[in-house]
Amino acid sequence: MGMLTGKVAVVTGGARGNGEGIARVFAAHGATVCLWDVLDSVTQTAERVAAENGHPCQAWRVDVSDAAAVETAAADVLRAFGTVDVLVNNAAIAPEVPFVDMDADLRERVWRVNVEGAMNCTKAVLPEMIRRKGGKIIVVSSITGPLTAIPGLTMYATTKGALLGFTRNLALEVAPHGINVNCILPGTIDTPLLRWSLANGEHAGSGQAAVGDDRPVASDEHVASFGAAVPWRRVGTAAEVGGVAAFLASEWSDYVTGTEIVVDGGSRLTEWGLALVESGG
């Protein structure tokens, strides 16, 4: 039996990248996984995860910024499985645009997906968790914003910083109900968006633009070279983010709440990382 056997988990942004990595680890540890994503490919991801692990994995096409759609999806999950034990708020967009050039509509879109999306999903599952006196809520933030900065990602960084405040305050509110709320801060992780970004000199933006995109993706050699600046000497994997999420979703984290775990191979330690590369050490 895995440490998540019998648990029902909702993972947003689950079609690919960190969301898919989290889903795979959850399923490998025995969880029934429900993937929510705006991308059509979420269905194929769910089928692959289910086939690989032999545990149910179902897909819903959901725009997390649409509160009504989120409520409908949550009701569907509860009807299908009777509970939501774990919610992973992972869905996000990261258009790379200098702040001075970003119009109000795009700023609002980033905020609505990254912050209000997490709030919508949490609000939809929280009443049932409170009723049952238990649950795990995991928020996926980033080191970008809370700890580091990248030119062109000011709005993304702003939203990721806001998610820390959301995590801490919500954790305090729901602790009396036996609900844990924690945050993961990934660094540079080998995802499709990273590979598109490296190959094309820009972030894939909304997360939708890259679907069916015929632009090139970065090679393994390019990714390895990019990861050389990380003290761990490589970029991370979505499975490594998934491993931390599995810990936070399990009983092993029952006394952990209102905190954040950085998963970045030490890349926030910029001076040290650069020194390693420059010295060839």
CA dist 256 → 14, 115, 129, 250 (Å):
24, 22, 17, 11
Of 76, 83, 4, whose CA–CA distance to 248 is shortest?
4
pLDDT at 209 (0 to 100): 38
State the Cα–Cα distance between residues 79 and 211, nearest whole angstrom: 31
Does residue 129 contact residue 51 with C-beta atoms inside 8 Å?
no
* pLDDT for position 215: 58
Residue ranges of the chain whose pLDDT lies below 50: 203-212, 272-277, 279-281
3-state SS track over 237-272: CHHHHHHHHHHHHCHHHCCCCCCEEEECCCCCCHHH
Report the C-alpha gap between 158 and 31 in whole angstroms.
Answer: 32
Is 156 an annotated catalytic residue?
yes
Domains and CATH numbers, the chain: 8-190+237-269 (3.40.50.720)
Rounded Cα–Cα distance for residues 47 and 190 (Å): 22
Q: What is the pLDDT of residue 214?
A: 56
> Given 156, 166, 196, 226, which residue is catalytic?
156
Q: Tell me the per-residue pLDDT of 157-210, one tens digit each, with 9 for 90 and over.
A: 999 999 999 999 999 999 999 999 999 999 989 877 777 777 665 543 333 334
Phi-psi region at 135: left, alpha or beta (left = phi > 0; alpha = psi -120 to 50): left
